[in-house]
Amino acid sequence: MPRVIALVLTVLMTATACGAHAEADAASTKPPSAGICRMLTAGDVTRPSNADAAVSCSEPHDSETYAVGDLDEKFADAAYDDPAIDTWAYQTCAAAFPTFLGSDQSTAMRSLLTWIWFRPSKAAWEAGARWYRCDVLGGSATQHSYVDLPTTTEGLLSGRPADPWMACARGKTVASGTTVPCSMPHDWRAATTIKLGEAGDAYPGDVSVKAKTRSYCSESVDAWLGYPASYGYGYTWFGAREWAAGNRRSVCWARTSE
């Protein structure tokens, strides 16, 4: 089960530490620390646990641990791969993510940054470890490589975020385009997000979500562009899995080179 929310469009170097040190860390039940930086690979982010060695945050890195803690006590006797753990961790990491970046949820969803979460290794789990680790990741977890992050991403999206960290796309359509930083030439910008429901609402179904997203994004982008005579827009919507995990927003894209 994917452990992050990711845009349908995906963005943009990596290496991984290995060997005896990583193996020792994997067996440890000691919780990780926040503020640690690493270089993660596409393979790393598909695994439930990670024991890669830390690197200095002043050196090239593509992830930063922004939140750590104990899993809810209800998981004390849970199976290692219990889907409920993913849902709980998703909600926990997702709530802390925009706060750490100094932004709201809408801005965070429209950035080039996402997050990934890790649990203890299976050996550590069996020994009683019950912690979680949330990492900021320099790009979507579904892509093959990630961008380098600054020394810290804390507060990176506060105020008016810099274009190198915001999501734009180059191509004829959003769906067929390539996501790029908004500081690069582009045809589309992730301009707004729209809310489709409240926390307790049941998932309305794919057809309804897609239809509402199309309608709401048309209106939202029209307003964002200042009600021009003609305009282009696109959208990214999310399904039942993301809804169950707490996401109630879709992303709206404006056709613009600005």
Q: Across the strands, what pairs with 165?
A: none
**Boundaries of every domain in the chain:** 20-137, 187-255
Half-sphere exposure of 61 (CA within 13 A, CB side): 23
Task: Read off the pLDDT of residues 43-65 as tens digits, 9 standing for 90 and up.
Answer: 999 999 999 999 999 999 999 99
The widest CA-to-CA distance across the chain, in whole angstroms, is 64
**Is the CA virtual torsion 46, 48, 51, 55 positive or negative?**
positive
Q: What are phi and psi of 181, to 5 degrees?
A: -65, 145
Q: Is the pLDDT of residue 9 over 70?
A: no
Gap between the Cα atoms of 121 and 32, Å rounded = 12
CA dist 110 → 9, 17, 28, 129, 234 (Å): 11, 30, 36, 34, 13
pLDDT on residue 12 = 30
Band of residue 170 on the pLDDT scale cut at 50, 70, 90: very high
Q: Is the pLDDT of residue 27 over 60?
A: yes
Q: Is the pLDDT of residue 38 over 60?
A: yes
Band of residue 143 on the pLDDT scale cut at 50, 70, 90: confident
Half-sphere exposure of 251 (CA within 13 A, CB side): 26
Beta carbons of 167 and 110 less than 8 angstroms apart: yes
If one counts every other C-beta atom within 10 angstroms of the C-beta of residue 18, the result is: 11
Q: Which two tokens stand for residue 30?
A: 């000691």
Beta carbons of 186 and 218 less than 8 angstroms apart: no
Band of residue 114 on the pLDDT scale cut at 50, 70, 90: very high
Band of residue 141 on the pLDDT scale cut at 50, 70, 90: confident
Q: Which residue has better confidence, 48 or 10?
A: 48
Q: Across the strands, what pairs with 251?
A: 193, 236
Q: Is the pLDDT of residue 108 over 70?
A: yes
**What is the chain's mean pLDDT, rounded?**
89
pLDDT on residue 193 = 97
DSSP labels for 110-137?
A: TBS-EEEEE---HHHHHTT--EEEEEEE
Gap between the Cα atoms of 69 and 186, Å rounded = 39
**Residues of the chain above pLDDT 90, percent:** 80
Gap between the Cα atoms of 204 and 197, Å rounded = 9
Half-sphere exposure of 54 (CA within 13 A, CB side): 13
Q: Which two tokens stand for residue 113?
A: 């940054």
Task: Read off the pLDDT of residues 235-248 as tens digits, 9 standing for 90 and up.
Answer: 999 999 889 888 99
CA dist 248 → 88, 188, 238 (Å): 16, 22, 8
Q: Which two tokens stand for residue 58?
A: 């002043």
CA dist 23 → 26, 118, 241 (Å): 5, 16, 33
Beta carbons of 174 and 190 less than 8 angstroms apart: no
Task: Read off the pLDDT of residues 179-232 as tens digits, 9 standing for 90 and up.
Answer: 999 999 999 999 999 999 998 999 999 999 999 999 999 999 999 999 999 999
